[in-house]
Amino acid sequence: MTTFEFNRGAYLQRINYSGETPPTLRTLKALHHAQLYTIPFENFDIQLGRGIDLAPGAIFEKLVRQMRGGYCFELNGLFLMALKAFGFDVRPLLGRVHITGTPTGRGHQIELVTIEGKQWIADVGFGAGTPRTPIPLEMDRPASHDGQTVRLVNSDLWGIMLQVLIDDQWMDLYSFDLGHVCQADIEYGNHFTSTHPSSLFVFARVAALPVERGVFTLFNNTFKRTLAGRDEEMELEEGQTYLDALKSHFGIELNAPYESLRPLPEL
């Protein structure tokens, strides 16, 4: 059995990054931006019935070598490996998603990064709502970047809540605490999120890729382009047209025919 070794050069090439790499705040922000805006959020391996393998080598092969995307456990799993490879003091955290108003289990992975005694939350895997830059672990201090304003607040029940400002209203995204997370915790969350019938990623096709001042998203057949607060929607046709749209809008190239995808649920 061969031991996986993170290839820093291949990772940097994948995210189109040629800047500095010492474990500084400047590097953290630059790597975060580069990966977030390059590697798409997507769940098509689940929709192809392949499941999600979180072995380090499997994540690297899929997201870097095969130039695919992934969801939080893959995207933040890759980012965690990268930060460790570049010498950062970093560890994973798990969060509960609150978008619908009903909290989920701990099914979202993020990172806690410590630089010169100060802690930062880094997340490159929350779909359209992914924080655009690392967030200092400070309460009630709104931060704006690339058209998005977020803040962290204390929550009596849930620990720390990440909120986003939409139309002058603060909306809950996800909560987390700073407790130790082991690999088994991550595997538990990944198994439910990628296999349970009630999980969004099991019953729907989703993709997202931030762009400057906006984001491209996909939900089943609906592609949405949001730029500077303006939305444009279009319905994608089935078949090769659908696969072509995945490649052109998100850089996702499936090595499988359209017919291998799970059928969309009937309305």
Domain boundaries, the chain: 8-200
Burial class of residue 51, CB neighbours in 10 A (0-12, 13-18, 19+): exposed
What's this model's pTM, rounded to 2 decimal places? 0.96
Question: Could you read off the pLDDT of 26-72 as tens digits, one per residue?
Answer: 999 999 999 999 999 999 999 999 999 999 999 999 999 999 999 99
Question: Could you read off the pLDDT of 214-243 as tens digits, one per residue?
Answer: 999 999 999 999 998 788 999 999 999 999
Query: Is residue 144's pLDDT more than 80?
Result: yes
Mean pLDDT of 84-90: 98
Tally of CB atoms within 10 A around 39:
25
Which residues, other chains included, contact 261 with Cβ-Cβ below 8 Å and sequence gap of 6+? 44, 47, 48, 205
Q: Place 13 in a pLDDT band, splitting at 50, 70 and 90.
A: very high
Beta bridge partners of residue 173, listed in sequence order:
none
- The answer to whether 185 and 179 have CB atoms below 8 angstroms apart is no
Integer Cα distance of 237 and 9 in angstroms:
38
Query: Is residue 265's pLDDT more than 80?
Result: no
Q: Taking the mean position of all CA atoms in its chain, how far away is CA 67? A: 15
**Residues identified as active-site:** 72, 108, 123
CATH of domain 8-200: 3.30.2140.20
Length of the chain: 267
Burial class of residue 155, CB neighbours in 10 A (0-12, 13-18, 19+): middle
- How far CA 152 is from CA of 30, 132, 136, 141, 209, in Å, comes to 21, 14, 9, 7, 23
| Helix or strand holding residue 84 (H, E) | helix 72-85
Integer Cα distance of 75 and 39 in angstroms:
8
- The answer to whether 77 and 109 have CB atoms below 8 angstroms apart is yes
Q: For position 213, what pLDDT does the model report?
A: 85
Integer Cα distance of 222 and 145 in angstroms:
27
